[in-house]
Chains A and B, each alone.
Chain A
């Protein structure tokens, strides 16, 4: 415990000495200040601490949309963009040197010569290296917590769920950085490999989601076509052939044509879905094994969701005015099913499988570290 606390204190001192740590903290502070500048009153909302009032009958302190907007800005935009992209990239740039410096000749000798098992040294160094993100996100969440409390009167402790969520998210990525550091002992190589891994991960997850939504859409279209076929067949069956009635023949021909089109649509949709399957399955398997970065961050939106169902996504669709944008019902249904499917994955599954991958990567790095001569 003494050794762990010493490494924790050392990690803090190391961060303290890095300018990028303070720059990132300053930038986080600016994001909090900008977030806090949004206010609500009975007439509407205002930006820049009242300098830019915006009157709105929908988004004001008397409607639930103000909460949906404010929390949504935090969970969907601030966490989704700032904390999981920009701040993480800055964190990686700042921390990618930690392991290479730690493993450098003359530095590692001093640590390995202490009465601590190599695996324990490795584990302690990894855990204490996460301090950059823990400190940044904790300070940031404290600011957001105060803003939300003061602006909409909701003292929502779930905001602090961002601390473990973003830290876990960062740990998936940082584990790869550590493996690359142990293999190459070069900070720049480790950073590049990590960014390549992360972007590949993002690409694969996005592709898998796209393939998934397209398959769902095709399945819905096939089901719709099937329904249409049933209707057309029953209506066609209801029209008895009557050679003496020319109108009868025209009607039957029309139904026949529509039936053929519906069958063609069904075949096309089934065929399309079948053609996508060989592409989708490998992506699904790979993304099931790899860390679920997007799903991990999405957990926060799930946990901060309005109990009455008001969300920023609904606002953006125009639901609050009752004049929702006209959208393809197939798209709506496909999105609904996709969301349902994604939310069907429990937090334990999302985080557990991701941590399993992380453990595998760290295990490999640890074995290399333990077997290496320095």
Chain B
């Protein structure tokens, strides 16, 4: 992650300048399904932000509220500095819904120009941008063929281009790599990184945790309509950072006297000493002692929780150890673990 930030060089400073700043977002469907409960979320300018959550957690509802597709019961805060629901602000926002349906009778080029015209983009700009973006998403060869002849991956590419037609400051992408092949996914990731470099804020809604982990600067995990975790991935996983030292034989006797060490005995005659903390210096004395005892050290490795581990932790009931019920309609008190941000 550190390397990625260095490369892009466009990380926002925590100066309070938020592209998305949501407070008290609440939505109940038909008076009984609590889709969102008091959601608070901040997205900085120029970052790639990932929203995660199990099915029915309320992710799409939250995005749709920002895009005025769904009317919230309550929503305070701003989108690009304007109140949520302020239509003119959407001129600077690109959006790709999850299960999008483009008119099958339009060609890829016509689709881009049509939605750009709805967003108020002028004719000449529409033509130029459509040609350029079709090239960007590698769809120039298919530009003048009907959408009805496109594969799902092709539609996704055109959808992504559609979201970029207005040269937005913010793009909200709901499952943008859904149906896209591995090469296409890499292309999309690269495109998102290029957008971030240009200062565009990207809001990603996805199930593909590994992909989010590769591109996102910050994430939020939405569980049963509440934000369970929010922040930089490395900050959220900092508590889980540790070193593992794999050695032959039984664990040394002195291990019990070291409070930061835990032991995991393997079935293959080896055992693993687990040292909590992210500092390499902290494990040097233990390595010295093991070497002094002529122990064979098989491996010394830094370990950090993955985004998937973090996600699973967020969606697991800390009391029962079971995954929380899917959906957003949990009863009060049965929500996700405490918010961390």
Contact = CB atoms under 8 A, between A and B. Distances in A.
A7 B87 CA distance: 19
A110 B105 contact: no
Interface residues of B, number: 36
B122 interface: yes
A260 interface: no
Interface in A4-41: 5-7, 9-10, 13-14, 16-17
Contact of A113 (B67, B99, B110): B67
Interface string B234-272: 000000000000000000000000000000000000000
Given A108-B69, A374-B70, A113 B114 contact: no
B69 A113 contact: yes
Given A112-B68, A113-B69, A17 B105 contact: yes
B87 A371 contact: no
B100 A110 contact: yes
A373 interface: yes
A105 B106 contact: no
B67 A112 contact: yes
Contacts of A234: none
A327 interface: no
B122 A2 contact: yes
Interface string A95-136: 000000000111111111111110000000000000000000
Interface string B47-83: 0000000000000000010011111000000000000
A3 interface: yes
Contacts of B91: 115
Interface in B83-115: 87-91, 93, 95, 97-106, 110, 113-115
Contacts of A371: 71
A3 B120 contact: yes
A104 to B, nearest CB: 6
A131 to B, nearest CB: 14
B119 interface: yes
B67 A6 contact: no
B97 A109 contact: yes
Interface of chain A: mostly helix, strand, loop or mixed: helix
A105 B101 contact: yes
A13 B148 CA distance: 14
Contact of B29 (A6, A14, A108, A373): A373
B34 to A, nearest CB: 14
A13 B106 contact: yes
A3 B117 CA distance: 5
A109 B67 contact: yes
A6 B114 contact: yes
B120 A2 contact: yes
A109 B87 contact: no
Contact of A107 (B98, B101, B118): B101
A117 B87 contact: yes
Interface in A71-116: 104-116
Contact of B87 (A2, A6, A116): A116
A113 B100 contact: no
A170 B97 CA distance: 34
A109 B69 contact: yes
Contacts of B102: 107, 110
Nearest to B67: A113
Contacts of A117: 87
B120 A13 contact: no
Given A3-B118, A373-B29, A110 B97 contact: yes
Interface of A: 2-3, 5-7, 9-10, 13-14, 16-17, 104-117, 371, 373-374
Given A3-B117, A13-B110, 6 more contacts: A13-B105, A13-B106, A109-B64, A109-B69, A373-B69, A374-B64
Interface of B: 29, 64, 67-71, 87-91, 93, 95, 97-106, 110, 113-115, 117-123, 162
6 contacts: A10-B103, A13-B110, A104-B101, A106-B97, A111-B118, A113-B67
Per CB-CB distance, the 6 closest pairs between chain A and chain B, nearest first, are A6-B117, A17-B105, A106-B101, A109-B97, A113-B67, A107-B101
